[in-house]
């Protein structure tokens, strides 16, 4: 179950479907940073980064990078017309004030009730919490984009998180390479599957109970 670039881009493309015109969206590092490459041309979105940019565009072409222009993960970005710069304190102020419509984050574990653990594996070196705690609490919608399994083959979707929490009860949607869950107040509902994965695959690789939607969308990009 290796994660090819196609798989990562399929997940990013599905997350991009949740973005509507006029939104302010914050992207985590990793797979979420691929999302801007999958938006329709005419969609007007302002991507927000904790380091102080509102209005990031697609990744620059090779050779066209600007060393002073990067996202919160330190990767080169472009900006869209109407973009603005601010300091990190103002960028965090926007998050804490509830101005972010949607955040798309990676995760280490998500529980069936939408608890998020995405910042530390005890004993490992870590750069820090970053904006994850504020984003998880304050963004109007929280989507987790992550692999179904960790590198030991264990499900990252669990009944109770065993890793330290970033924030409790905050995730609205989980997108993995296998499918899409909605997180409701009474647990998870599987609503979409990426072909060729089946319901049996999902049951085998999810470490908690979940309901199955009446009609499941099968995604084949």
pLDDT band at 58 (very low <50, low <70, confident <90, very high): confident
Helix (H) or strand (E) holding 24: strand 24-27
Pick the catalytic residue from 50, 112, 134, 177: 50
CATH 3.20.20.70 at 5-219, yes or no: no
Of 204, 148, 200, nearest to 177 by C-alpha is 148
Mean pLDDT over 136-150 rounds to: 97
> What's the mean pLDDT in 57-72?
90
For residue 2, pLDDT beyond 60: no
Does the model's pTM come out above 0.85? yes
> What are the sequence ranges of the domains in the chain?
5-219
pLDDT score recorded for residue 57: 85
State the pLDDT confidence band at 142, using cuts at 50, 70 and 90: very high
Question: Across the strands, what pairs with 56?
Answer: 79
For residue 50, indicate whether it is catalytic.
Answer: yes
8-38 pLDDT tens trace? 999 999 999 999 999 999 998 889 988 988 9
Burial class (CB in 10 A: 0-12, 13-18, 19+), 82: exposed
DSSP letters for 87-134? -HHHHHHHHHTT--SEEEE--SEEETT--EE-S--TTS-----TTHHH
């Amino acid at each position: 179950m290796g994660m090819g670039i196609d798989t990562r881009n399929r997940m990013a493309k599905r997350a991009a479907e949740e973005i509507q015109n006029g939104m302010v969206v914050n992207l985590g590092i990793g797979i979420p940073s691929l999302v801007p490459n999958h938006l329709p041309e005419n969609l007007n979105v302002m991507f927000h980064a904790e380091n102080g940019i509102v209005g990031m565009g697609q990744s620059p072409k090779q050779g066209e990078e600007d060393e002073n222009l990067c996202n919160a993960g330190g990767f080169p970005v472009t900006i869209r017309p109407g973009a603005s710069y601010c300091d990190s304190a103002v960028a965090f102020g926007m998050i804490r004030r509830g101005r972010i419509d949607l955040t798309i984050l990676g995760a280490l574990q998500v529980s069936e009730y939408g608890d998020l653990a995405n910042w530390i594996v005890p004993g490992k070196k870590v750069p820090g919490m970053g904006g994850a705690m504020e984003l998880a609490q304050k963004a109007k919608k929280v989507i987790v984009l992550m692999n179904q399994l960790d590198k030991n083959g264990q499900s990252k979707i669990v009944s109770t998180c065993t890793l330290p929490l970033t924030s409790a009860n905050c995730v609205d949607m989980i997108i993995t390479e296998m499918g899409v869950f909605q997180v409701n107040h009474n647990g998870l509902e599987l609503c979409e599957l990426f072909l060729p994965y089946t319901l049996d695959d999902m049951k085998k690789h999810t470490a908690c109970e979940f309901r199955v939607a009446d009609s499941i969308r099968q995604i084949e990009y």
